[in-house]
Structure 1
Amino acid sequence: MAQKTKQQEAFKPGTQLIAAIILSILTYWLFAQSFLNIAPHVQKDYHIDMSVVNIAVSLTSLFTGIFIVVAGGLADKLGRVKMTRIGIYLGILGSISVIVSGIPALLILGRVLQGLSAACLMPATIALINQFYEGEERQKALSYWSFGSYGGTGVASFFAGLVATFFGWKWIFVLSIILSIVALYLFRNVPESKEPGAKNIKFDVVGIAIFLVMMLSINVVTTQGTRMGWTNPITLTLDAIFVISIFVFYFFEKQKHQPFIDFSVFSNKTYIGTVSANFLLNTVIGTLALFNIYAQAGLGFSGLKAGFVTITYLIGSLAMIRVGERYLQRKGPRFPMMAGPISIAIGIAIISLVFLPDVVYIITSVIGFLFVGLGLGFFATPVLDTALSSVPSEKVGVASGIIKMSSTLGAAFGIAILTTVYSSMVANHSPESAATTAFIVGAVIMLCAFLASFVTIPKGKMEKK
């Protein structure tokens, strides 16, 4: 572990730092993500075409996915507290841009700023937890981080509907600004944390530029491929750019004395397995997206009614986060990282029983989403702690960025894969057959996540590098 400064040694983080971190990440997981559920309200106020609103919806996740590793690397070099504050400021500016006027350009700018804010906040806050908490206290802090992320995104749709209905959708972002200011106040006495010798490190501008091209191409493909068409010339061109940029980036960075991404991070089999398992497990978001599509198209549900069926996903995940943490403390991460995907696979298999009578299917789906939530919650803290334990402390920012980028890309790929399977089949088969096949594909991916953990995660407790 990196040596602490006198200020860091004297600092007692306690609950104040945890509260500050939770409030800061809620600006994305709860408030920025609420935008997905208020699109009609936004369209009405802005008097714009729905296609523009849909662009605004997707921009935040797109910019988060593109810049999160860059921001994690900058956090290691410039300072994790500094990057956290920058993230909060960007979130405040993004919220102001969204609500201050009816100008579409400011709406788009606001959503971009919210994406950049999340990219700064996620790796920097995880790195701060790694810096100021050790052992079981770090694992507990990571559980609270998971509460803020999984809990925030799970409540987002209901929160958005409630505020938009009774107060107006702009109040969502007014509340985000207020909580962001509170978070800044709570961060006021937190000492800086960054990689020793950071002043002497030069920024790898070319490496960052190549990486951004690589991430932009794959993010556009995964988020827009279904809409544009997978054989569309633009999609195929972006695929080619992504593949070429991988090779260019790798060979360019290997020759750099101070590369943007130190590939020694990937020399650890456990870290590679953790990133792979996390990527595969987060494709489960595709199951939630597909269920909402099928429930509304095949069962005639409203979006709200479909959301109520999936509420057990939230309940299960929140209930199991601390359980996963305690098991991690006693026996290590291997069993939770294997059992989580198996539980999710069972849940998806139950949800795939679309041939059952409607009432019975709703009941089984509620049970299925409970299994999905239980598995996700059990997996959450062990995967974060294992990622942090597998890399040196001075590289934890970029490593955190990579692990969270794998979450973002996993979710995007999950949505792309399952919805593509469903839409390609539904033209020639019944919605029931198409949905069942797509759900089974999702369950198979979970089994791949199990295998990744089984092969790479060691038995017993892990010691921090």
Structure 2
Amino acid sequence: MAGTDDGLVYGTAQGRWVLLATVLGSGLAFIDGTVVTIALPVIGREMHAGTAALQWTVNGYGLTLAAFLLLGGSLGDRLGRRRMFRVGVVWFALASLLCGFAPDIRALIAARALQGVGGALLTPGSLAIIQASFRPEERGRAIGAWSGLGGIAGAVAPFFGGWLVQVASWRWVFWVNLPLAVVVVAALRHVPESADPDAAPHLDIAGTILGAAGLAGLTAAFTGWPTRGASDPAVLVPLVVGVAATAGFLAVEARTRYPMLPLRLFRWRSFSAVNAATFLIYAALSGIFFFLVVTLQVVCGYSPLAAGIAPLPVTLLLLALSSRAGGLGTRIGPRLPMTVGPLVCAGSVALLARLGPQAPYMSAVLPGVVGFGLGLALTVAPLTSAALSAAPDHLAGTASGVNNAVARIAGLLAVAVLPLLAGVGADLTDATALAPAHRTAMLICASLLAGGGLLALVSLPGSMAAVRPPAATTAP
């Protein structure tokens, strides 16, 4: 690792610069998705967009983000994590500018897809930079602080985004990314560069293309299914293409000399278990936030600002507790927090299934949101630490990319599939259809969270040291 000997100490000046750059940079990719969801009802009315088009407004971004995350991690390992992080931030800012100027829903979806490419280049570098920059004994605190400080942006963004949508325009949700990107680029001057000296000399182009085709096919099929039906060629053809391309992707990754996704990572039980739990938990999270802020506006009659503020306790609890949860996970291992946290989330999300017209915030929304925030705060930092610790240090970028890709793919498929399973219909702004669909979606998400917690209970070890792969198996 360039720029340090044994690594940075948490709380030093340079350590704070690393946290500032990585928190704000990754916040661009994470928060934008949350705020855009708040704006969906307004975008739908202004651009006369139905449910499928609004799903694509979310998934156009999620698709390219998920499809190119592994490539982003590989490029960071090979060319330098700080360098690719900077490229991703600038790309994301320019794509945000295009989103704000989009004249119609198709142009907005295309610009969102470009945004996702920038997000894919910067997202894996965030945690990989932290993992490579800090000393091993400091990483749990640094990752916890990363999660908690991200909560500051998460707390401000829904309020600020909802306010922008309500008093100005949804377009400012995208334009506000530009000054934040300038701050990130300036902070990166103080971040040490790191790379993997043993990184693959060639990019896995075939794997990237097949992976993207697989995700695109599945997403298109599930998005079109509710309105067209399973037998429609516009659904059936993408579904077949998606399944075939996914199978081809796995075959290529198993045989190529320099895979984008080294399947041998999944031979380590802890790595497989934590990523399986990640899939279930993050599918639920994406489904919850997609439905909740839309239901609060369409069914409950909340303004965009009120709907944006409603989940605020979640981010405040993440801010207050994530660093402590990261330290707790380091001391006692990931199994207990990753079991209890999702189960608490599941019970709380079940409470949110009861929302209806004119639902009062204090009694109908707040209890579920607070419980959900407590469970999530207990889960996120130990999960992230376990995902990175379950792979050798020289594969930090790849491990981060895999875990992020799993989370993003889970969210992508949740937004595509949940409206189908819940029975939303063709119009996401129809309160009569959305109310029962919201109830079904919340119960499905609660089940996914409970499944993630039980999987952690039976699959993860009781100590963080036991999460790491045996030394004899970590050679490239």
| TM-score under structure 2 length normalisation | 0.83
Task: Decide whether aligned partners of structure 1 residues 333 and 115 sit closer, same or farther in structure 2, where only a CA change above 3 A counts.
Answer: same
Q: C-alpha separation between the residues in 2 aligned to 1:68 and 1:137?
A: 26
- Match status 1:420 vs 2:420: yes
Q: C-alpha separation between the residues in 2 aligned to 1:86 and 1:179?
A: 14
CA offset at residue 234 of structure 1?
A: 2.6
* Between 363-372 and 26-35, the greater mean CA deviation after superposition: 26-35
Residue aligned with 2:95, SS: helix
CA offset at residue 179 of structure 1?
A: 2.1
| 1:293-322 Cα distance to aligned partner (Å, 9 max, x none) | 554555444454444443333333333312
Residue aligned with 1:195, SS: coil
| 1:213-239 Cα distance to aligned partner (Å, 9 max, x none) | 122223434555545555543333323
Q: C-alpha separation between the residues in 1 aligned to 2:411 and 2:53?
A: 21
CA offset at residue 23 of structure 1?
A: 1.9
* Between 158-167 and 57-66, the greater mean CA deviation after superposition: 158-167
Task: Decide whether aligned partners of structure 1 residues 455 and 34 sit closer, same or farther in structure 2, where only a CA change above 3 A counts.
Answer: same
* Between 59-68 and 411-420, the greater mean CA deviation after superposition: 411-420
State the one-letter code of the partner of 1:318: L
Structure 2 partner of 1:8 = 4
Residue aligned with 1:145, SS: helix
CA offset at residue 99 of structure 1?
A: 4.4
Q: C-alpha separation between the residues in 1 aligned to 2:40 and 2:421?
A: 26
Residues 67 and 116, structure 1, Cα contact 8 Å, conserved in 2: yes
* Between 449-458 and 163-172, the greater mean CA deviation after superposition: 163-172
Q: C-alpha separation between the residues in 1 aligned to 2:131 and 2:22?
A: 12
Structure 2 partner of 1:382 = 382
CA offset at residue 276 of structure 1?
A: 1.0
Task: Decide whether aligned partners of structure 1 residues 184 and 301 sit closer, same or farther in structure 2, where only a CA change above 3 A counts.
Answer: closer
Structure 2 partner of 1:341 = 342
Residue aligned with 1:462, SS: helix
Q: C-alpha separation between the residues in 2 aligned to 1:240 and 1:455?
A: 34
Q: C-alpha separation between the residues in 2 aligned to 1:424 and 1:368?
A: 22
Residue aligned with 1:403, SS: helix
- Match status 1:453 vs 2:456: yes
Residues 341 and 447, structure 1, Cα contact 8 Å, conserved in 2: yes
Task: Decide whether aligned partners of structure 1 residues 397 and 235 sit closer, same or farther in structure 2, where only a CA change above 3 A counts.
Answer: farther
CA offset at residue 387 of structure 1?
A: 0.6
State the one-letter code of the partner of 1:443: A
State the one-letter code of the partner of 2:131: N
Q: Equivalences for 1:217-256 in 2 at 5 Å? A: 217-221=217-221, 225-226=225-226, 229-230=229-230, 232-256=232-256
* Between 24-33 and 441-450, the greater mean CA deviation after superposition: 24-33
| 1:109-153 Cα distance to aligned partner (Å, 9 max, x none) | 543332111111111111111101133421222223323555545
Structure 2 partner of 1:210 = 210
Aligned residues: 456
Task: Decide whether aligned partners of structure 1 residues 461 and 202 sit closer, same or farther in structure 2, where only a CA change above 3 A counts.
Answer: closer
Residues 166 and 304, structure 2, Cα contact 8 Å, conserved in 1: no
Q: Equivalences for 1:160-309 in 2 at 5 Å? A: 160-165=161-166, 171-198=172-199, 201-221=201-221, 225-226=225-226, 229-230=229-230, 232-282=232-282, 283-292=284-293, 294-296=295-297, 298-309=299-310
Structure 2 partner of 1:407 = 407
Residue aligned with 1:459, SS: coil
| 1:65-94 Cα distance to aligned partner (Å, 9 max, x none) | 221122112222222112101101202221
Q: C-alpha separation between the residues in 1 aligned to 2:438 and 2:165?
A: 32
State the one-letter code of the partner of 1:95: S
Residue aligned with 1:280, SS: helix
State the one-letter code of the partner of 2:447: V
| 1:179-201 Cα distance to aligned partner (Å, 9 max, x none) | 21221122124343122144x71
Residues 162 and 304, structure 2, Cα contact 8 Å, conserved in 1: no
Note the aligned Cα RMSD (angstroms): 3.5
Task: Decide whether aligned partners of structure 1 residues 134 and 233 sit closer, same or farther in structure 2, where only a CA change above 3 A counts.
Answer: farther
Structure 2 partner of 1:397 = 397
- Match status 1:444 vs 2:440: no
Q: C-alpha separation between the residues in 2 aligned to 1:18 and 1:359?
A: 39
Residues 4 and 192, structure 2, Cα contact 8 Å, conserved in 1: yes
* Between 180-189 and 56-65, the greater mean CA deviation after superposition: 56-65
Q: C-alpha separation between the residues in 2 aligned to 1:210 and 1:158?
A: 39
Residues 277 and 456, structure 2, Cα contact 8 Å, conserved in 1: yes
| 1:25-44 Cα distance to aligned partner (Å, 9 max, x none) | 22223346534444677789
Structure 2 partner of 1:30 = 31
Q: C-alpha separation between the residues in 2 aligned to 1:392 and 1:301?
A: 48
Residues 221 and 238, structure 2, Cα contact 8 Å, conserved in 1: yes
| TM-score under structure 1 length normalisation | 0.85
Q: C-alpha separation between the residues in 2 aligned to 1:112 and 1:165?
A: 25
